[in-house]
């Protein structure tokens, strides 16, 4: 009998209507970092887990300001976003031990941006052989770790890297 693969958190994304407003503005302004899976807050930008990740540990780095174009970001924000990307890579290497990392921006709907009006950088850990038959045949990815557990590990790692508290 074949084993069952479970990814129950994805059903909410599949069935629910997509939220109104901006998820980045909403999560940044809510203040409940644990529930929103915000792992670190900087002065002009923050780091959070993707609720519907490509891989476990899939982080996003976004400015607090609702800005969709890279050329509109103030230099201070751009600099902090890139520094937080470096920290995200360090945090992922510490606890997730990836074989590689994808780092990228999708600018505009034609580029694949799901949230086109609020710039964000994807930081996605990758492992050799992490693509298997599921995404190829069924357009499904199996994430082997809960968001809450990933949040706990990455919040602690950021606190160590930044010298603060999780």
Catalytic residues: 120
Measured between alpha carbons, how far is 46 from 136 in angstroms, rounded to an integer? Answer: 33
Q: Tell the residue number behind the tokens 């990814």, with chain if given.
A: 7
CA distances to 2, 16, 34, 67, 124 from 31, in Å: 43, 23, 9, 20, 24
Contact of 3 with 14, CB cutoff 8 Å: no
DSSP state of 94: H
């Amino acid at each position: 009998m074949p084993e069952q693969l479970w990814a129950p958190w994805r059903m909410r994304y599949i069935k629910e209507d997509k939220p109104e407003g901006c998820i980045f503005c909403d999560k940044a302004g809510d203040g409940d970092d644990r529930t929103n899976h915000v792992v670190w807050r900087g002065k002009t930008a923050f780091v959070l887990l993707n609720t519907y990740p490509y891989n476990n540990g899939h982080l996003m780095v976004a400015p607090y300001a609702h800005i969709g174009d890279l050329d509109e970001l103030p230099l201070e924000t751009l600099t902090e976003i890139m520094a937080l990307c470096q920290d995200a890579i360090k945090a992922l290497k510490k606890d997730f031990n990836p074989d590689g990392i994808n780092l990228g921006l999708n600018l505009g709907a034609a580029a694949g941006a799901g949230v086109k009006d609020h710039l964000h950088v994807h930081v996605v850990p990758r492992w050799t052989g992490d693509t298997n038959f599921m995404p190829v045949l069924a357009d499904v990815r199996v994430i082997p770790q809960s968001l809450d557990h990933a949040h706990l590990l990455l919040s602690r790692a950021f606190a160590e890297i930044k010298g603060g508290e999780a």
